[in-house]
Amino acid sequence: MFSSQMFVLVAVGFLETLYMTIISTAMAYIVGLPLGMILAVTDKDGISPNVPINKILGGIVNVLRSVPFVILLVLVMPLTRAIVGTSIGSSATIVPLVIASAPFVARMVESSAKEVDRGVIEASLSMGASTFEIVRKVMLPEAKPSLIVGAAIATTTILGYSAMSGFVGGGGLGTIAINYGYYRSRTDVMLIMVVVLVLIVQVFQEVGNIISRRCDKRIS
Amino acid sequence: MSEAAIIRIENLNKTFGNGGNAVVALDDINLSVKQGEVFGIIGLSGAGKSTLVRCINLLEKPTTGNVIFDGKDITLLSDRELRDVRQSIGMIFQGFNLLMQRTALENICFPLELAGVSRKEAKQRAREMLNTVGLAEKENAYPAQLSGGQKQRVAIARALATRPKVLLCDEATSALDPTTTQSILSLLKDLNKKLGLTVIIITHEMKVIEQICNRVAIIDNSHIEEIGTVDDVFRHPKTQAAKKLIFPRGEMTKSIAKGGKYLRIVFDGNSSDQPVIANMVLECGEPVNIVFANTKDIDGKAYGHMIIQIPDDPVIYHKITLYLDLEKITYAEENYDV
């Protein structure tokens, strides 16, 4: 059953999954990181409270987060087609992945940023730091270990979403699992895909944890 | 110490919240701090002292009133101008508030980066400051690797890196053990003398005030109750709030026999090396009960208080006060009935 054909299939699926996950995570952070920082800064207890902005952005984030991913996948298909030209394949899946995960990333970033000791921020204000300087020189570096753990969690979540996109021909390991395992009842193929996915999640999570611990100077 | 005021606080009020939930944190505060002095603000927790110190660099915006720093009313400044002024007012905290992901040296570089000093110059200045606070060998240590006292030294070096004129200390020694407290206080006194730095100290501990302050303001219930030289306030506390801080009730013997009179005897540099009480007892031939005693070294001279209980008899009272008058010992009758 493990023909070389099957091996190629798994290898391609693996690479497609990695491609979708990494690109989507990166793009989700391009949007989610600033968004999360704005949410933390404009919070009523933040360094530059701004209730309207916080409420509007928070509302958008909440709405997007409450749409189940499978439904979002179908909902954004017209947009996907407009951007990528097609709604199937791994490149097309990146669009809904980013839309679904950017708000999630924003919330993770916001929560990491809020963990930064209020006293340190107050000390920076007392030294004449501006809001932007505090974000760049205090909140981001001080929250770095927590942000990295968050990134590992976000990556694995996005990986899970990417597998879900297999139902609508999203490409990658998820598509193989569904096409072979579900439609052709090849339970063995499904199991192999599950094992590979589990391994990838383990590796991402563990690598994230190690990097986070390495860069955290609070523990000597 | 010159007479010019570096900081003047005028008619300052601070209220948190509004409407029915409003809480008055500061009520009509007026005080001025002279250039080059060590000024203490003491009060029990909740008195408003931390809010007051935050109003000096406007971390807390006063509801009404003015804060004049170096001749400029800083409550009128734009955010940008205020950030510049803050670089001339250093601040240290009870919790040190160091950047945990930066080394000691990088922490001290931080305010210099904000001030736009080049990386190379900042490092050089930071090393100088580490030397000043006696931590030259710890430049690459992270805060997590330093003791409380060392962290506060780094915080002091960081606060002074931009050569501010004033250093605000918010309960800066409250998290430290007594020995470390001593060494941090003497460092502050040293910097005050060497650099002519004006130091404002917020504390709830009288011993901190006694040790390094020139003048003290006593704050209680959002009000300034008393301002004066430490010597004056210490010897002749006028208000109940001052007395409460100088003789915390908890420290007095609880099992005082009812009745009798209480005399507070003040020791100064001249009398504390003499066996005053023993001489008095021998001379007058009357028994006294020592209820509270506290002596310490302030500014190189010994000061202290003692509260004695004497029998409730006008003759004995007269005999003892006469003796104290003759010996030129300051005393006052106190009412400490529980």
Interval B22-31 mean pLDDT: 92
Fold classification of A4-215 (topology level):
MetI-like fold (1.10.3720)
Note whether B309 and B260 are within 8 A (CB).
yes
Q: Which residue has the higher pLDDT, B274 or A23?
A: A23
User: A51-96: per-residue pLDDT in tens?
Assistant: 999 999 999 999 999 999 989 999 999 999 999 998 888 999 999 9
Taking a contact as any Cβ pair under 8 Å apart, which residues of chain B between 50 and 69 contact chain A? Answer: 57, 59
Interval B41-59 mean pLDDT: 91
Q: Which member of B59, B101, B103 has the closest CB to residue A142? A: B101
Interval A133-147 mean pLDDT: 97
User: A92-125: per-residue pLDDT in tens?
Assistant: 999 999 999 999 999 999 999 999 999 999 999 9
Taking a contact as any Cβ pair under 8 Å apart, which residues of chain A between 120 and 139 contact chain B? Answer: 120, 122-130, 133, 137-138
> Among A185-199, B13-27, B31-45, B290-304, whose mean pLDDT is lowest?
B290-304
Q: Which member of A120, A130, A144 has the closest CB to residue B83? A: A130
Portion of chain B with pLDDT greater than 70, in percent: 90
**Closest-approach residue (CA) in chain B for A218:** B144
The DSSP bridge pattern shows strands B64-69 and B38-42 to be unpaired
Q: pLDDT category, B298, cuts 50, 70, 90?
A: low
Which chain B residues are Cβ-neighbours of A216 within 8 angstroms?
Answer: 101
A217 to B100: CB separation less than 8 angstroms, yes or no:
yes
A115 touches chain B (CB under 8 A): no
- DSSP secondary-structure letter at B28? E
B101 to A126: CB separation less than 8 angstroms, yes or no:
no
A220 to B145: CB separation less than 8 angstroms, yes or no:
yes
**Closest-approach residue (CA) in chain B for A216:** B101
Q: Which residues pair with B227 in a beta bridge?
A: B217
Q: Which residues contact B193 (CB under 8 A, 6 or more apart)?
A: none
Interval B222-235 mean pLDDT: 89
Task: Tell me the backbone φ, ψ of residue B228, rounded to 5 degrees.
Answer: -175, 180
So what's the pLDDT on residue B248? 63
Q: Which two three-digit tokens encode residue A2?
A: 């493990």
So what's the pLDDT on residue B236? 81
A137 to B113: CB separation less than 8 angstroms, yes or no:
yes
DSSP string, B212-254: H-SEEEEEETTEEEEEEEHHHHHHS--SHHHHHHHS-GGGS-S
A217 to B89: CB separation less than 8 angstroms, yes or no:
no
d(CA A101, CA A28): 6
The verdict on ipTM greater than 0.85 is yes
CA quadruple B133, B153, B53, B45: dihedral, nearest 10: -140
**Closest-approach residue (CA) in chain A for B86:** A128
B93 to A123: CB separation less than 8 angstroms, yes or no:
yes
So what's the pLDDT on residue B213? 94
A128 to B114: CB separation less than 8 angstroms, yes or no:
yes
Which chain B residues are Cβ-neighbours of A145 within 8 angstroms?
Answer: 101
> Among A83-92, B175-184, B232-241, B297-306, whose mean pLDDT is lowest?
B297-306
Number of inter-chain CB pairs under 8 A, A vs B: 82
A122 to B57: CB separation less than 8 angstroms, yes or no:
no
A188 touches chain B (CB under 8 A): no
Q: Which residues pair with B29 in a beta bridge?
A: B12
Q: Which residues contact B148 (CB under 8 A, 6 or more apart)?
A: B96, B175, B176, B177, B180
Q: Which residues contact B304 (CB under 8 A, 6 or more apart)?
A: B266, B267, B272, B293, B294, B295, B296
User: B301-324: per-residue pLDDT in tens?
Assistant: 667 778 888 887 888 888 888 888
B86 touches chain A (CB under 8 A): yes
Interval B196-215 mean pLDDT: 92
d(CA B112, CA B118): 8
**Closest-approach residue (CA) in chain B for A219:** B144
Mutating which of B74, B87, B96, B101 best tests the A interface, going by the most A Cβ atoms within 10 A? B101
Q: Which residues pair with B33 in a beta bridge?
A: B7
> Among A6-10, A85-89, B277-281, B332-336, whose mean pLDDT is lowest?
B332-336
So what's the pLDDT on residue B255? 46
Average pLDDT, chain B: 87
Q: Which two three-digit tokens encode residue A157?
A: 């979540």
User: B86-133: per-residue pLDDT in tens?
Assistant: 999 999 999 999 999 999 999 999 999 999 999 999 999 999 999 999
Q: Which two three-digit tokens encode residue B196?
A: 């002519």
Interval A164-181 mean pLDDT: 86
Residue B73 in this model has a pLDDT that exceeds 50:
yes
So what's the pLDDT on residue B129? 96
Mutating which of B55, B81, B97, B146 best tests the A interface, going by the most A Cβ atoms within 10 A? B97
So what's the pLDDT on residue B280? 83
d(CA B57, CA B108): 20
So what's the pLDDT on residue B224? 93
Residue B266 in this model has a pLDDT that exceeds 60:
yes
Q: Which two three-digit tokens encode residue A125?
A: 């204000």
